Structure 1
Amino acid sequence: MDAHALDEALRNHWGLDATTVTTIDGGMNSRTWLVRAGDASYVAKRVSAADVELLATGCSVAERLGRAGLTTGRPVRTVLGALVAPDERLALLEHVPGSELGGTTVEEQRWIGATLAQVHHAGAPARQGPGTTGFFGWLTADAPGVRNHPWLPRAVDTARGATDRLTVTWSVLHTDPAPEAFRYDAAADAVGLIDWTGACRGPVLYDVASAVMYLGGPERAGAFLDAYSAAGPLDASELRHLDAFRRFRFAVRAAYFARRLTERDLTGIRDQRDNENGLEDARRGLERLATPASGEPK
């Protein structure tokens, strides 16, 4: 979508005459622009045809959590009241001010932990199971590209086998709470969480495991885990399953990059080497977690 087409879409679907439009791409699965119209700022987000439903679901979650008091980058509904302009594969979101976090300091990790705990409390947490087979049902040994890597089908089956039988707390998940999805607004002394495409209901430990993965593992994520444990909906007996969900999360990451390699999907990256590096990083993560941690069910 070029600048002219974006201007037309904003005018036709939102009645918005943009003053300036600046590309802010950086995501793996979408294109984004910072849109200024007078004194107001927005983010326009466009996804592939395959991800339009995920975008709409994420917008619905962001809107619902925004009404609950969280800062989420809520969608601006179209002139017809829709969350997404489906023909354009486009959503218009409130711009969340502030700077993205890196998760490298104790303070930032505490903000991330407390914010993620708020999300899970606001999403009506409830115990569910046994079995998580309805969560990310696409993650199987037959997922696209998985069998192209001899080590990966067994890793996927092992990860699923360790989590599918567990009774755990489910809530609304962000599903990809990397530090850069959290934004700190110093003027308001507030933290927001953006990028809700892919949000769904699922096991809370998946989000916790994702955050730990991005922070570099439990040894580097201590402040996050302390803050989340103090404020989140999980008790110590459930948190002992964290390593099982860390394996599940690395299996998801591996299958994701295996598919991208097969489809030669270069969205958000330079070339196939970035997909290869992503897959190798996931393989190393699974290798480190090959032996169950002390106290974890075998």
Structure 2
Amino acid sequence: MLHRFWGLRSPALKPLSGGMSSKTWLVEDGGLRFVAKKVLPTQIAELLAGCEVAAALADDGIITGRPVPTIDGRLTVREHGLALLEHVPGRELRGETDQEQRWMGATLACVHLAGHPGPGGTTATFLPDWLSPQLPGVATHPWLVQAIAVVRAETNPMTLSWSIIHSDPAPEAFVHDEDTGATGLIDWAGARRGPVLYDVASAVMYLGGPREASAFLEAYQGHGPLGPDELDRLDSFRRFRWAVQGAYFAWRPAGNNLVGIEDQLENQNGLDRARRGLEEVTLT
């Protein structure tokens, strides 16, 4: 497929680890490096949307792992759920040092500013299919159904700043090149327009909470589009984010989804972490 759709002559492929919703390979051909990404049929639309976002942000100077157009100009090969992306050099961040968190905060702020932030609709229109008791697998966990109801009641009336959001800015999605000092943000499948605070809450979730993420939050506040009034609602969106995490790990076993993991125990562990996360943010 790499030869047929992109004209690569003799690509060498190496499987890459990580990723809960796709399979990826490092591709080397003619001295050039790329990343091939293949998703499930149910996620092809998200892959295309993410490639469009990554291409637009790359045009604005943000390092995203820009999609490489096919010979006939497409950003993805929809019939195969496949995209070829520019390889972003550097190391994946872990967010364990203040410096790494500052790179993360500044980079995410640049993404949100480039996405033309402005007033959005109510939060009720955001992720209506994902944060829903009707999502397959959710109804079998009464605590999660209750959590979703509480989170929706709390956040649905909110009118917040919306922009292009990554939707899953985990530390490893940030790649820092020590030679150039540049930090990129990769893995854009799932990107969309939404409340900026959702991305901030996602990063804080992965970093362990506001105290552990203090350097990230300071850097983001110094560069980003959100004022104190919106950032004061961070805990509300931390609850929102943990509820989404719970719904995701309840949905995966319902479809016997084992992409990125070895067995269903890992899905259960993700669900348990989401429940503890909600409890830690004092869900009422």
Q: TM-score, normalised by structure 1?
A: 0.93
Deviation of residue 277 (structure 1)? 0.4
Q: Residue 147 in 1 paired to residue 139 in 2?
A: yes
Query: 66, 82, 85: which is aligned to 1:93?
Result: 85
Q: Residue 80 in 1 paired to residue 77 in 2?
A: no
CA–CA distance in 2 between the matches of 1:19 and 1:80?
Answer: 19
Q: Residue 175 in 1 paired to residue 167 in 2?
A: yes
Code of the aligned partner of 1:246: R
Q: Secondary structure at the match of 1:233?
A: coil
Q: 1:288 is matched with which residue?
A: 280
Paired residues for 1:64-75 under 5 Å: 64-75=56-67
Deviation of residue 291 (structure 1)? 4.8
Compare 48-57 and 139-148 and name the one that shifted more: 139-148
> Cα deviations across residues 223-255 of structure 1 (Å, max 9, x unaligned)?
000000111000001101101100000000000
Deviation of residue 25 (structure 1)? 3.0
Code of the aligned partner of 1:106: D
Query: 43, 51, 76: which is aligned to 1:51?
Result: 43
Confirm or deny: 8 A CA contact 2:62 2:184 kept in the other structure.
yes
CA–CA distance in 1 between the matches of 2:35 and 2:95?
Answer: 23
Q: 2:256 is matched with which residue?
A: 264
Gaps in structure 2 of 5+ consecutive residues: none
Confirm or deny: 8 A CA contact 1:58 1:199 kept in the other structure.
yes
Code of the aligned partner of 1:157: A
CA–CA distance in 2 between the matches of 1:83 and 1:93?
Answer: 9
Q: Residue 277 in 1 paired to residue 269 in 2?
A: yes
Q: Secondary structure at the match of 1:157?
A: helix
CA–CA distance in 1 between the matches of 2:159 and 2:52?
Answer: 27
CA–CA distance in 2 between the matches of 1:114 and 1:290?
Answer: 29
Deviation of residue 88 (structure 1)? 1.6
Code of the aligned partner of 1:150: P
> Cα deviations across residues 112-155 of structure 1 (Å, max 9, x unaligned)?
000000000000000124x2122111121111111101111110
Structure 1 residues 72, 262: CA separation in 2 closer, same or farther (over 3 Å shift)?
Answer: same
Paired residues for 1:179-218 under 5 Å: 179-218=171-210
Q: Secondary structure at the match of 1:34?
A: strand
Confirm or deny: 8 A CA contact 1:10 1:18 kept in the other structure.
no
Query: 130, 137, 157: which is aligned to 2:128?
Result: 137
Code of the aligned partner of 1:217: G
Q: Secondary structure at the match of 1:91?
A: strand
CA–CA distance in 2 between the matches of 1:17 and 1:59?
Answer: 24
CA–CA distance in 1 between the matches of 2:15 and 2:182?
Answer: 25
Q: TM-score, normalised by structure 2?
A: 0.98
Deviation of residue 264 (structure 1)? 1.8
Code of the aligned partner of 1:215: L
Aligned residues: CA RMSD: 0.9
Confirm or deny: 8 A CA contact 1:18 1:35 kept in the other structure.
no
Q: Secondary structure at the match of 2:78?
A: coil
Code of the aligned partner of 1:133: A
Gaps in structure 1 of 5+ consecutive residues: 1-8, 293-298
CA–CA distance in 2 between the matches of 1:161 and 1:253?
Answer: 18
Structure 1 residues 165, 17: CA separation in 2 closer, same or farther (over 3 Å shift)?
Answer: same
